[in-house]
């Protein structure tokens, strides 16, 4: 059965967490004591519900997933990666285990995870989820922390996650024939086939995506596969403060982590932190933070310099790094949240729209900037 084929979801959205529903879950964690009150909650109508609760032993972060998207085994794979990073002394979130040793707790139609609250300031908590860094210092610190993660991940040899739903993966456009891979996915995933059957996706992919693939493919085999975060943006990090000296104090939300390439993490971080997006989904504001871009890459390369192949592959990968996740989102919106209009929006504005943007003047300027960095080995500002 196709990994993207889902059972019918018991709900069409994620209602907010309540203290009552957390009691049978948190009661399995004897070390926590009683739950006192909510400190903060986030209502996400799509992916998951989460919140920070005060307990007798301190605040904990609780996250709830629909069981048809994240089963306990898939969530445990994520937790093992986090444990590996913590063993390497990285400030990754601390996942708690219950009295049986389980970290993924199944209760009803949901799967829960509980983390001990991490030290640091959540400066971007209430910001739009792809908000740019507030300063070049934050960008530099985020780049340095991502390099730390990648160096630690080199020793982690677990296979890719069992689930393909809403994880960061780059296999389709890493292959010699990406359209054949999409065809195979459609053949085994009726939901995706129905979505794409009504659209001229093949012609659009030839026009918007394959030219980038032709430039990337000769280099992709030289990239080192490893487990990556795949959602590295400012609101998934905790900070020492707003003003320098700045450092990342905690790495959060490994929900999209999977076996991929370090360069995918870099490209995702650039897309989600450097390129300005309006509040409307996937719409570009026309702004690029050039100082933050260079600071982010300089911070990364201060610890883990890019190889020559990686430096030249980055601008070729960037216009395609979103594509596989976009396909997964389309299936998710159509099959889980029963929001076909959101699936259509994802196809037009995200799967194709981001690639279109990279063919426009601002997108081309960004790619040229990265090419110049690769050729010169140093920052080369471009005026947007």
Give the pLDDT confidence of 333-370 residue by residue, as tens digits.
888 888 888 899 999 999 999 999 999 999 999 999 99
Q: Let me know if residue 181 belongs to a domain.
A: yes
Q: Let me know if residue 348 belongs to a domain.
A: yes
Q: Let me know if residue 365 belongs to a domain.
A: yes
Least confident of 20-34, 75-89, 221-235, 250-264: 20-34
Greater confidence, 301 or 383? Answer: 301
Contacts of 221 (CB under 8 A, 6+ apart): none
Assign residue 295 the CATH number of its domain: 3.90.1200.10
Least confident of 10-14, 29-33, 214-218, 321-325: 10-14
**Does position 9 have pLDDT exceeding 50, yes or no?**
no
CB-based contact 174:259 (threshold 8 Å): no
Inter-axis angle of helices 262-273 and 290-301, nearest 10: 150
Q: pLDDT tens for residues 113-125?
A: 999 999 999 999 8
Cα–Cα distance list, 243 to 25, 135, 247 (Å): 39, 9, 10
Q: Could you tell me the two tokens for 374?
A: 């690769």
Of the three residues 116, 146, 178, the one that is the final residue of a domain is 116
Q: Let me know if residue 112 belongs to a domain.
A: yes
Q: For residue 44, what pLDDT is reported?
A: 59
66: β partners: 110
**Does position 7 have pLDDT exceeding 80, yes or no?**
no
Do residues 112 and 150 both lie within one domain?
no
What whole-number distance in Å separates Cα of residue 85 and Cα of residue 261? 16
Do residues 105 and 218 both lie within one domain?
no
The mean per-residue pLDDT over the stretch 88-102 comes to 96
CB burial of 349-380 (b: ≥16 within 10 Å; e: otherwise) equals: bbbbbbbbbbeeebbeebbebbbbbbeeeeeb
User: pLDDT confidence of 12, banded at 50, 70, 90?
Assistant: very low
The mean per-residue pLDDT over the stretch 318-324 comes to 96
Q: Establish how many alpha carbons lie within 13 A of residue 72's alpha carbon, considering only the half-sphere containing its beta carbon.
A: 11
Q: For residue 131, what pLDDT is reported?
A: 81
Do residues 257 and 368 both lie within one domain?
yes
Q: Let me know if residue 26 belongs to a domain.
A: yes
Q: For residue 256, what pLDDT is reported?
A: 94
With a pLDDT cut of 90, the percent of the chain lying above it is 70
Tokens 């989904």 locate to 281
Q: For residue 2, what pLDDT is reported?
A: 44
Do residues 241 and 337 both lie within one domain?
yes
Q: For residue 8, what pLDDT is reported?
A: 41
Tokens 């990364």 locate to 300
Do residues 230 and 326 both lie within one domain?
yes
User: pLDDT confidence of 30, banded at 50, 70, 90?
Assistant: confident
Query: Is residue 105 reached through a cis peptide bond, with omega within 30 degrees of 0 on the bond before it?
Result: no
Q: pLDDT tens for residues 180-237?
A: 999 999 998 898 999 999 899 999 999 999 999 999 999 999 999 999 999 999 999 9
| Helical H segments across 236-358, by residue range | 262-273, 290-301, 308-317, 323-335, 340-345, 353-358
Q: Let me know if residue 71 belongs to a domain.
A: yes
Assign residue 95 the CATH number of its domain: 3.30.200.20
- Domain coverage including residue 268: 136-376
Q: pLDDT tens for residues 48-84?
A: 888 899 998 899 999 999 888 899 999 999 999 999 9
Q: Let me know if residue 125 belongs to a domain.
A: no
Of the three residues 116, 145, 167, the one that is the final residue of a domain is 116
Q: Could you tell me the two tokens for 206?
A: 């030839």
CB-based contact 263:314 (threshold 8 Å): yes
**Does position 39 have pLDDT exceeding 90, yes or no?**
no
The total number of structural domains in the chain stands at 2
Cα–Cα distance list, 374 to 216, 245, 304 (Å): 14, 28, 15
The mean per-residue pLDDT over the stretch 162-191 comes to 92
Do residues 81 and 165 both lie within one domain?
no
Do residues 265 and 203 both lie within one domain?
yes
pTM assigned to the model: 0.92
């Amino acid at each position: 059965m196709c990994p993207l084929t889902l059972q019918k979801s018991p709900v069409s959205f994620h209602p907010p967490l309540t203290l009552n529903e957390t009691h049978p879950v948190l009661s399995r964690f004897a070390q926590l004591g009683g739950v006192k009150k909510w400190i903060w909650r986030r209502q996400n109508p799509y992916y998951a519900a989460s919140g920070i609760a005060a307990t007798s032993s301190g605040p904990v972060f609780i996250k709830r997933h629909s069981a048809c998207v994240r089963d306990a085994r898939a969530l445990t794979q994520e937790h093992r990666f986090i444990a590996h990073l913590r063993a390497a002394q990285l400030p990754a979130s601390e996942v708690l285990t219950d009295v049986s040793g389980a970290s993924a707790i199944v209760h009803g139609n949901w799967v829960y995870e509980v983390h001990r609250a991490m030290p640091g300031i959540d400066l971007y908590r209430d910001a739009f989820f792809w908000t740019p860094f507030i300063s070049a210092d934050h960008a530099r610190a985020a780049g340095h922390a991502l390099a730390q993660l990648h160096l630690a991940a080199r020793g982690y040899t677990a296979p890719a996650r069992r689930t393909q739903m809403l994880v960061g993966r780059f296999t389709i456009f890493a292959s010699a024939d990406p359209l054949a891979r999409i065809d195979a996915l459609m053949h085994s995933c009726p939901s995706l086939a129905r979505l794409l059957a009504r659209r001229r996706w093949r012609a659009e992919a030839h026009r918007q995506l394959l030219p980038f693939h032709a430039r990337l493919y000769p280099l992709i085999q030289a990239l080192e596969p490893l487990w990556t975060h795949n959602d590295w943006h400012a609101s998934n990090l905790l900070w020492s403060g707003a003003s320098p000296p700045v450092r990342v104090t905690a790495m959060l939300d490994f929900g999209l982590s999977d076996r991929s390439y370090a360069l995918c993490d870099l490209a995702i971080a650039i897309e989600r932190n450097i390129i300005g997006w309006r509040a409307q989904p996937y719409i570009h504001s026309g702004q690029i933070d050039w100082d933050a871009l260079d600071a982010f890459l300089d911070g990364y390369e201060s610890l883990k310099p890019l190889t020559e192949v990686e430096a030249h592959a980055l601008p070729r990968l960037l216009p395609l790094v979103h594509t596989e996740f976009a396909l997964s989102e389309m299936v998710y919106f159509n099959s889980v949240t029963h929001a076909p209009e959101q699936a259509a929006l994802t196809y037009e504005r995200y799967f194709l729209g981001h690639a279109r943007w990279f063919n426009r003047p601002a997108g081309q300027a960004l790619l040229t900037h990265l090419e110049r960095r690769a050729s010169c080995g140093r920052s080369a500002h471009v005026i947007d």
